[in-house]
Structures are given as C-alpha cells and as structure tokens.
Chains A and B, each alone.
Chain A
Amino acid sequence: MSGNQTRGPRPVFALFGWQGADERRENRVIVNRSLTARGESRGVCEGGGSGVIRFENVGLRYGMGPEVLRDLNLRIDPRSFQFLTGPSGAGKTTLLRLLFLALKPTRGLITVFGRDTATLPKADLPALRRRIGVVYQDFRLLDHLTTFENVALPLRVLGREESSYRADVVELLKWVGLGDRMHAYPPVLSGGEKQRAAIARALIGQPEILLADEPTGNVDPPLAKRLLRLFIELNRLGTSVVIATHDIGLMNQFDARRLVLHEGRLTIYE
C-alpha cells in the first residue's frame, strides 16, 4: 500500500474537485457527524485494520435454494485495486450486490466502512451508499435525463443547487471524454459512451470505493484499455477499485490483486 505517494501533476483533475481533498474531507466530516449524531461510533476508519469492506464467512442463498456464495473471507483495503473474476454464473454480480448493500448475506459478517451491515439502520444506508460508486453492467442511466443530468444525479439527490456542481460535472465529463455529449440523452449514446457516462456518475460523488460490473463488456479492446487506465488513474488518486470481469486479456494488462470466484467459493491471488 505504498505506491500512491508518488503522484505526478494532475492538470486536468486540478480543475475537477479531486484535488478536492478539502471538499472531500468536508463531506466525510458531515457523514461522520451525522453518524455520531445518532450516538453511534463509526468503528474503524479507513486506513485502519478492517479495510473499506470486510467479509467474514459470508454465505448467501436465494430463498431455499443452494448457497450461491460460500464462506467468503475478503478484505478490500483503502486505495487497493482488484479484479473480481470467475466463470459466468460464478456469483460475481451477486458478490458485487453484497458489496454495494443491495443484498444482505444469509450468514456471516459484512462490515462496510467499519459498520456491521446486519445491524445497520435503514436510515443510514443512503449515506453509506454515497461513499460507494457503482458502475452497473447495464449502466442504469435514466433515459429522460441528459448525460449531464444523469452524471449529476448523485449530487442532485443531496438537494444541492446545480450551480454548485456544474463545473465539477462538466470537468468530469470531459475527463471521461464526453465533453461534447453532455446534452445528449442516453438512448442516442453509443455503448462506450453510456459506459463512460455510467462511470462518471459513479465517480461524481467522489466515492471511497468504486465497484464496476463488467465495465468493458460492451466496448472494443482499445476503449477497454482506455477505461482500464481511467480506473488505474482513479485508484492512484486514492479510490479503492473493484472491477468484475471475465476478460483475461484485460486483467493481463494490469498486474493487480485477483479475486477468483468458482462455484461460490473465493480464491484470492495477491
């Protein structure tokens, strides 16, 4: 976990709020305050021993069916980068859904930002979700909103004024190469453009961890390569990244930790 100290100049990001460490710290302070205000401690903070997300003996079954995931033990550290892979139907998407709190495990313990999800009050979920950025396999962009509005959505639902985040959104859209498509609606975007819009939406809230489900599944190899570099760059700026993919070629382009799911069990290659 030492490689992130050597960062080069970031002219583009300097415009977008990534440098925005200040703002980001502010956001965290707000989250912290809102959590402690309810009389709960946040437990272990990022950088501590438990990581951003921790799984202990996690198992999941749908209804009365067999266990889809068995005995998962996993720790995702701050600023770490990992691929989640495995054959189709091995449970990658299910594992991701556990990671972004859309599912509850049938057994075992999941800790997200130091908080046990089993005892998490529902009211705290939105605040936790805002610290996790998710890129869905099917993008899940809203067709009646422009690219700009889709990307701005995570900030808009906080009730913020458009003028307060417009520059950030424009900057990020340019960063992902959608600068001239911001007023287009998703139905007229190409697969690659939708993909990048979905990534931008996941990043706009400056999440501490980014989860991406097959982010290169719909794009050609050159664009896949560029998207991978985007994720690497993002990771270098301090965000933990989990990329679910079954594209061996993509994984071979970057040497990172691999989480391999096979028949519901997880093997980790550091």
Chain B
Amino acid sequence: MSEAAETRTRHPARGAGLAALLPRRNTRTRRPPGAPQMGPIVPAASIASRSLTMVVAIMSFLACLTLGAVTLVRDASRDWQNDVTRELTIQIRPVDGIDADQEAAKAASIAAAQPGVASARALEQWENAKLLEPWIGSGLELTDLPIPRLVVVTLDAPDAVDLSALSARLAAEVRGASLDDHRTWSDRLKTMANATVIVGFSILGLVFVATVLSVVFATRGAMASNDDVVSVLTLVGAEPRFVAREFQRHFLLLGLRGGLAGAIGAALLFALLSLTIGRSFATPESDQVSALFGQFAIGPTGYVGAVAIAFLIAVMTAVTSRITVYRAIAGGI
C-alpha cells in the first residue's frame, strides 16, 4: 500500500479540493426564498395512491350505506311489532235471538276493565260497512245480514294484559265472542322482521369483509409502487421503525381522507332521502312507505357508525402499510 500512498502524496490536486477540478458554476448556498420545504419521504401523489383513495372512499360509502339500511330495517321491524302487539280485536258472531250490538258493548266494557288496556271500542255499523265495501260494495243495508261485530282494543302495556283471563271471561259472559290477539300475524311478522334483520347484518358483515380485503389489497398495491423508496431508505441506514412511521402516517391520512369522504357522502344521501320522503307526507304513497319503513330517519347510531367506519378503514390502511414495510425490510438481509 505504500506505493499507492506515494502516488497520493505526489498528486497535483492535493489540497486544492475537488471543486477546483469540477466545472465551476454559479453556486448558491442558500435555498432561494419560497423554495419548498423538505419534500415528503413518501411520494405524495401517485396513480396507485389516488386509486387507493377512491377504493377507500367507495368501500366506506357502501359500508355506511349498508349500516344505515340495516339500522333502518331494524327500527322499522321493531315499530311493526310494537304496532301489532298494541292492538287486539274481539269478534262477536251474531247468534239468533241475541242483540249483537249489545253483546259488543258488553265485550267492550269487559275489555276496558282489564289492566293494561287503554281503550276498547265497538265499531259502528257504518265502520263495518266501510270495511266490507271492497267485497260487497256500498249502499247495502247490513242490518239484515249476519255480520260479526268488532271491538277494537288498544293496549298501552301489552305485557300487563292477561290474554287468557280476558278470553275466558269473554267466552263465559259474551255469547259468540272470540278474542283475536293477532298472534298469528304478529308471530309471522316477527319472524319476517327478524329474518330481514339477520339478512341485513349478514350483508353488513360481508360488506365489511369486502371492505377490509379491498382496502388491504389496494394498500399493498399502492405500497408496491413504493418498494424502491423502502429499499433506498433501508440501504441508507434508516431504522425499520422510521420507515414504518413515515408510511403509516402517509397512509393514515390517505385512508382518513377516503373514509371520511365516503362516510360524508352516505350521510348526505341519508339526509337527502329523509328530507324528500318527509316532504311528501300526506300522500297515500308516503303513508304506505312510512307504514313500511317508519319515519325513514337514520338515528344517531347510523351517523356515529358512519364516522366509526371511516376511522376503522383509515386505521386499517395505516396498519396494512406498516405491516407491508416490515415485511419488505425483513425480506432483505
């Protein structure tokens, strides 16, 4: 090595500095005013990260929409069940020689005396006629026909009513009376409502799984375009922790942006729907719709859930990028 060392001591450029050997240009030491701050280590915008934002926004929108729909259906089914179980009907078949109207009044007074009953009212003749109108037409004299009388009983505390006692008392005291507690209907409706809610939650689950998978894969896709950044950072001696933190921060922001965009979109849609459906009240169609879906209002659960979904998706994006960084670094030496 001494030979090489000798060559070095003879070298003409010694001491002059390499700058003298390299082309001299108009150098400046200061960053010009207005020059950008240090650029982010993770490239701010790439095609992959833009499409990731889109995927995150769309999936978050769909998940929020599903969540909203499921809460809506659940609330509606609860309302149906409540409405149905809050009403009873007593039917009095006409029996020869007995005044059905009188029996109906008696049944009404018996029912009204029961605990948990709000009111009991025998339907008037004209009301019966109206109910039958679709089948037998209007303008008929019904007094001659053996039409059963109906007593509508509304309950304020369905659980407090002893249905079997009421039914036994009616059978004993009122001739031709039978109690219809709508149980067949209500059971069928309950089954249907439960099934709807279960299907809704299953769909919500599937949408969540699809969201997780697509966000994870889109994040990994976006990370693949950053492989070079990860390997250069590692080779210049960056700690894996540092690299992971940089990517995690970038992807958390990206996920938040996408997630919130989707959630806000879904919330706006719900607000718009409940507004338009609320507006068209007092039309027969809207009455039917509100009978089915209740007030079409997404409760606080829906809105809180939407925000929660947005944050969940953002965190998922960030964690996926972190795991990908650690995997990429571990793949090296």
Binds B, one of A38-46, A54-62, A66-74, A156-164: A156-164
List chain A residues, Cβ under 8 A from B28.
179-180
Give bound CA distance, A12 to B19, whole Å.
8
Which 6 pairs show the lowest CB-CB distances between chains A and B?
A3-B5, A8-B15, A179-B27, A177-B22, A12-B17, A130-B237
Residue B283 interfacial (CB < 8 Å): no
Residue A30 interfacial (CB < 8 Å): no
Give bound CA distance, A10 to B13, whole Å.
11
Question: What are 14 inter-chain pairs, A to B, with CB distance below 8 A?
Answer: A3-B6, A6-B9, A8-B15, A77-B1, A140-B235, A142-B232, A157-B243, A174-B27, A177-B24, A180-B28, A232-B8, A233-B17, A236-B8, A257-B1
Residue B185 interfacial (CB < 8 Å): no
Contact of B11 among A156, A167, A232 (CB under 8 A): A232
Write the residues of chain B forming the contact surface with A, with a CB cutoff of 8 angstroms.
1-9, 11, 13-19, 21-29, 31-32, 35, 38-39, 41, 43-44, 228-229, 231-240, 242-243, 330, 332-333
Counting residue pairs across A and B whose Cβ atoms lie within 8 Å, the total is 151
Given A8-B14, A140-B228, A254-B7, answer yes or no on A129-B27 (Cβ-Cβ < 8 Å): no
Is there an interface contact between B29 and A157, defined as CB atoms closer than 8 Å? no
Is there an interface contact between A236 and B14, defined as CB atoms closer than 8 Å? yes
List chain B residues, Cβ under 8 A from A175.
17-19
Given A2-B5, A103-B333, answer yes or no on A126-B18 (Cβ-Cβ < 8 Å): no
Interface of B is mostly: loop
Among residues of B, the one whose C-beta sits closest to the C-beta of A183 is B35
Among residues of A, the one whose C-beta sits closest to the C-beta of B35 is A183
Give bound CA distance, A102 to B24, whole Å.
36
Binds B, one of A86-94, A146-154, A242-250, A259-267: A146-154
Is there an interface contact between A126 and B237, defined as CB atoms closer than 8 Å? yes
Given A8-B14, A226-B21, A255-B3, answer yes or no on A144-B238 (Cβ-Cβ < 8 Å): no
Among residues of B, the one whose C-beta sits closest to the C-beta of A140 is B232
List chain B residues, Cβ under 8 A from A255.
3-4, 7
Is there an interface contact between B236 and A153, defined as CB atoms closer than 8 Å? yes
Among residues of A, the one whose C-beta sits closest to the C-beta of B32 is A183
List chain B residues, Cβ under 8 A from A126.
234, 237-240
Among residues of A, the one whose C-beta sits closest to the C-beta of B332 is A102
Contact of A3 among B9, B43, B236 (CB under 8 A): B9
List chain B residues, Cβ under 8 A from A145.
39, 41
Contact with B along A120-149 (1 / 0, CB 8 A): 001001110110001000001110111011
Is there an interface contact between B4 and A81, defined as CB atoms closer than 8 Å? yes
Q: How far apart are B12's CB and chain A's nearest CB, in angstroms?
A: 9
Is there an interface contact between A129 and B23, defined as CB atoms closer than 8 Å? no
Residue A9 interfacial (CB < 8 Å): yes
List chain A residues, Cβ under 8 A from B232.
140-142, 153
Is there an interface contact between B1 and A80, defined as CB atoms closer than 8 Å? yes
Is there an interface contact between A176 and B22, defined as CB atoms closer than 8 Å? yes
Given A142-B232, A183-B35, answer yes or no on A3-B19 (Cβ-Cβ < 8 Å): no
Is there an interface contact between A270 and B1, defined as CB atoms closer than 8 Å? yes
Among residues of A, the one whose C-beta sits closest to the C-beta of B12 is A229
Among residues of B, the one whose C-beta sits closest to the C-beta of A150 is B232
Which of B5, B11, B26, B330 has the most A CB atoms < 10 Å from its CB?
B5
List chain A residues, Cβ under 8 A from B27.
174, 179-180
Is there an interface contact between A9 and B238, defined as CB atoms closer than 8 Å? no
Give bound CA distance, A235 to B88, whole Å.
100
Is there an interface contact between B242 and A157, defined as CB atoms closer than 8 Å? yes
Give bound CA distance, A102 to B38, whole Å.
28
Give bound CA distance, A154 to B29, whole Å.
20
Give bound CA distance, A270 to B4, whole Å.
10
Give bound CA distance, A230 to B239, whole Å.
30
Residue A113 interfacial (CB < 8 Å): no
Residue A37 interfacial (CB < 8 Å): no
Is there an interface contact between A183 and B236, defined as CB atoms closer than 8 Å? no
Q: How far apart are A230's CB and chain B's nearest CB, in angstroms?
A: 5
Give bound CA distance, A149 to B2, whole Å.
39
Give bound CA distance, A8 to B44, whole Å.
46
Is there an interface contact between A180 and B26, defined as CB atoms closer than 8 Å? yes
Give bound CA distance, A254 to B229, whole Å.
35
List chain A residues, Cβ under 8 A from B332.
102
List chain B residues, Cβ under 8 A from A177.
18-19, 22-25
Contact with B along A1-16 (1 / 0, CB 8 A): 1111011111111000
Residue A101 interfacial (CB < 8 Å): yes
Among residues of B, the one whose C-beta sits closest to the C-beta of A196 is B22
